[in-house]
Amino acid sequence: MTQDIHRGHRVAHALRTGTVWINAYRVVARTSRSGGSGPAGSAGKTGSRRSTSTTQTKAIWVELTGGTRDPFTLG
């Protein structure tokens, strides 16, 4: 959680993980790619197996409305 969206993005890009939520939690969409970091997760579910170790699939979800949501309800 942060008031500074630029800081949120800097932190999200520095993290070595597949999904980051900024001011949100457990937001998902069927059309988004899933991924992770490192060789095992770098191709994602729909990605190419030709990816290198420098490729990282990451989903960054940002709540821009200022609203809050129930973190235990998917959507």
Q: How far apart are the C-alpha atoms of 51 and 71, rounded to whole Å?
A: 33
**pLDDT on residue 65:** 83
User: What does the pLDDT average to over 18-38?
Assistant: 74
User: What does the pLDDT average to over 19-35?
Assistant: 76
* pLDDT bucket at 43, cuts 50 / 70 / 90: very low
DSSP code, position 15: S
Return the residue matching tokens 């457990």.
Answer: 26
User: 7, 20 in Cβ contact below 8 A?
Assistant: no
**pLDDT on residue 11:** 95
